[in-house]
Amino acid sequence: TGYALEKKVVKSKVGEKVFLPCCHEIPSSDSLQNYRVYWQKNTTEVVLAYAEGKKMPQQERYENRTGMDVRNLTLWISPVEILDNGPYQCVVQHRKHSQNSVVVCDETVTLFVTADFSKPNVTVEKRFKTCESTVMVVSCSSHGGFPKPKISGALNNVSVVWNTSSVSKSSLGLYNVTGQLWLNVTKDVSFTCSVEYNGFLKSTSLLLKNKNDCVVPTVPPSYNVITASSIIIIIFLLAITLAAKYLPRHGKYSSFFRKRSLTA
């Protein structure tokens, strides 16, 4: 339900019931029969009107969608439509004598109608990739809102300028908005798309990842390789040990037999 934020400004959303305050209240000692009340839009459309307590003809599109409090003369509209957006004028005349009427109130109140935009839809398309970076096309879209929105983007909370953006209007008077951004991503970054309209904000955030696929991980040797290498090293050390132990003796015995043969 929409209510006045201040006396002359009211905000409401499509489909809600909104109340527009008038500038006069009929005291309990008086009655609607002594007044003429005109609620009109853009000074041309009769939204709701009463003369001497009787309802007067009104614009067709307001029939069965409007009503008025007989004391404070507040106008209500339900359900609110996009076309209801705009200024409304409340004019009140008091009949003090049989023929003469005095204007006791003439004031305008502006109705700002809002229709919620959808939560922004963010899509990412990867166009080109190297070891260090990834070129991405990030798109953001939102639809079905009112009034005309402002779309913005941010990388790690820092504002960016869209490469392209557009706003279109449907036959129902609702807006659709899109934005597109080309990015060269070298590290993981957070992207946020926001749609702002009439003091309201809808946002969607997405983490853009850059995977470095060019680094070849070091593969540790398998258990079989380690085992085989260990066996080879052990055999090699054992061979050196045996050689050091027996080769010198083998040399002594050879010289001994040579001496014996010479003596004989």
Q: In terms of C-beta density within 10 A (0-12 exposed, 13-18 middle, 19 or more buried), how is residue 59 classed?
A: middle
Query: Are the beta carbons of 151 and 170 closer than 8 angstroms?
Result: no
Domain boundaries along the sequence of the chain: 8-114, 118-208
Cα–Cα distance for residue pair 80/20, rounded to 1 Å: 12
Same fold across 8-114 and 118-208:
yes
pTM of the full predicted structure?
Answer: 0.66
Topology of domain 118-208, per CATH? Answer: Immunoglobulin-like (2.60.40)
Residue 118, classed as helix, strand or coil, is coil
Q: Kindly give the confidence (pLDDT) of every residue in the chain, 264 residues in length, as a single tens digit, with 9 standing for 90 and above.
A: 554 444 589 999 999 999 999 999 999 999 999 999 999 998 889 999 999 899 999 999 999 999 999 999 999 999 999 999 999 999 999 987 666 789 999 999 999 999 999 999 999 999 988 888 999 999 999 999 999 999 999 999 999 999 999 999 998 899 999 999 999 999 999 999 999 998 899 999 999 998 876 755 566 656 676 776 778 888 877 777 777 777 655 545 445 445 444 454
Query: Are the beta carbons of 47 and 39 closer than 8 angstroms?
Result: yes
Dig out the tokens for 114 from the structure. 């809002």
Domain 8-114 superfamily per CATH:
Immunoglobulins (2.60.40.10)
Angle, CA of 182, 118 and 184, to the nearest 5°: 10
Residue 132, classed as helix, strand or coil, is coil
